[in-house]
């Protein structure tokens, strides 16, 4: 006599994060998804990974991707409709990944309302080559306008490996930090991985994001299940993604 045996149900391996707060899913406005069909593929991928909510964050980098808050929110609407029409049970909202440049400083000067990932938290990035000389002044001005800066993928600013005290200065000043999940795999290079490990060890990270741009990123995320650094991060209970 034979008995069928059902496989044990295994939770998707990023379900514990709940919300992804850094991706590039609005089609055609930056270096992320090129079209709506691809965006839907990516959203399905998020669902399969276990996410319940996506806060997608197109670039605002004026000389390359001259997006505006209004344009991003306008682009979000057809994506939300397509997700609903496809029957994908996942919430999708939009904020932005602001590059700290002259245009961003003009936004601050004129007190333009920034897109936030939640509450008053704003995702910002800086150059991969060198930090702007007035970075701390800009971050201070953000806080004066009641924003909390969330530093996108600090581990990718490898030049700061020589000045790790700078991270502590930013944290003391009230900045939050967001890890790119694929940084711990060496996807962006060994220097990035090593800096991510340092920041993880010293409990800098408040959020983790996919920073998904293309299919290779999705494929990498699907292979994260047995990564020891990701397991350690989950066990730490430090990340605040589920609060978004």
User: What CATH number does residue 226 fall under?
Assistant: 3.20.20.140
The DSSP symbol for 173 reads: T
The answer to whether residue 233 is domain-embedded is yes
The winner for highest mean pLDDT among 69-83, 121-135, 217-231 is: 69-83
Distance (Å, whole) CA 200 – CA 115: 27
- Per-residue model confidence (pLDDT) at position 132: 86
The answer to whether residue 7 is domain-embedded is no
pLDDT in tens, 191-223: 999 999 999 999 999 999 999 999 999 999 999
The answer to whether residue 5 is domain-embedded is no
Q: How far is CA 17 from CA 108, 146, 183, 230, in A?
A: 31, 26, 16, 11
The answer to whether residue 201 is domain-embedded is yes
The answer to whether residue 151 is domain-embedded is yes
Distance (Å, whole) CA 118 – CA 41: 25
Count structural domains, the chain. 1
Asked if 241 and 17 touch (Cβ cutoff 8 Å), the reply is yes
pLDDT in tens, 15-72: 999 999 999 999 999 999 999 999 999 999 999 999 999 999 999 999 999 999 999 9
Q: Where are the beta strands (DSSP E) in 59-96?
A: 59-60, 91-94
- Per-residue model confidence (pLDDT) at position 8: 38
- Percent of all residues in the chain with a pLDDT value above 90, rounded to a whole number: 93
Distance (Å, whole) CA 97 – CA 61: 8
Distance (Å, whole) CA 32 – CA 215: 10
Q: Which pTM value belongs to this model?
A: 0.94
Q: What domain range includes position 74?
A: 15-243
The answer to whether residue 191 is domain-embedded is yes
State the chain's mean pLDDT as an integer.
94
Closest CA to 94 of 43, 164, 158, 34: 43
pLDDT band at 4 (very low <50, low <70, confident <90, very high): very low
pLDDT band at 2 (very low <50, low <70, confident <90, very high): very low
The answer to whether residue 1 is domain-embedded is no
The answer to whether residue 99 is domain-embedded is yes
Residue 35 region by backbone torsions, left for phi larger than 0, else alpha for psi between -120 and 50, else beta: beta
For the record, the structure tokens of 94 come out as 């939009």
Contacts of residues 156-161 at CB distance under 8 Å and 24 or more positions apart, as own/partner, are 156/128, 156/180, 156/183, 156/188, 156/192, 157/126, 157/127, 157/128, 157/131, 157/195, 158/128, 158/189, 158/191, 158/192, 158/195, 159/129, 159/130, 159/131, 160/131, 160/195, 161/191, 161/194, 161/195, 161/198
The DSSP symbol for 167 reads: H
pLDDT top residue among 27 and 226: 27
């Amino acid at each position: 006599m034979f008995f069928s045996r059902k496989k044990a149900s295994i939770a998707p391996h990023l379900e514990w994060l709940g919300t992804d707060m850094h991706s590039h899913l609005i089609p055609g406005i930056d270096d992320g998804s090129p079209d709506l069909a691809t965006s839907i593929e990516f959203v399905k991928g998020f669902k399969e990974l276990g996410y319940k909510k996506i806060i997608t964050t197109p670039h605002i980098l004026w000389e390359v991707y001259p997006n505006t808050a209004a344009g991003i929110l306008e682009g979000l609407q057809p994506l939300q409709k397509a997700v609903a029409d496809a029957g994908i049970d996942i919430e999708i909202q939009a904020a932005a990944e602001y590059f700290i440049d002259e245009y961003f400083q003009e936004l601050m000067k004129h007190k333009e309302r920034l897109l936030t990932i939640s509450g008053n938290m704003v995702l910002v990035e800086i150059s991969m080559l060198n930090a702007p000389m007035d970075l701390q002044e800009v971050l201070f001005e953000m806080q004066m306008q009641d924003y909390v800066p969330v530093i996108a993928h600090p581990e990718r600013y490898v030049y700061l490996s020589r000045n790790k005290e700078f991270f502590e200065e930013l944290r003391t000043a009230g900045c939050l930090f967001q890890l790119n999940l694929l940084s711990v795999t060496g996807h962006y290079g060994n220097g990035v991985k090593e800096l991510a490990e340092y920041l993880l060890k010293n409990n800098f990270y408040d959020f983790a994001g996919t920073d998904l741009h293309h299919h290779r990123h999705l494929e990498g995320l699907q292979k994260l299940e047995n990564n020891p650094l990701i397991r350690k991060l989950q066990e730490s209970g430090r990340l605040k993604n589920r609060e978004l």
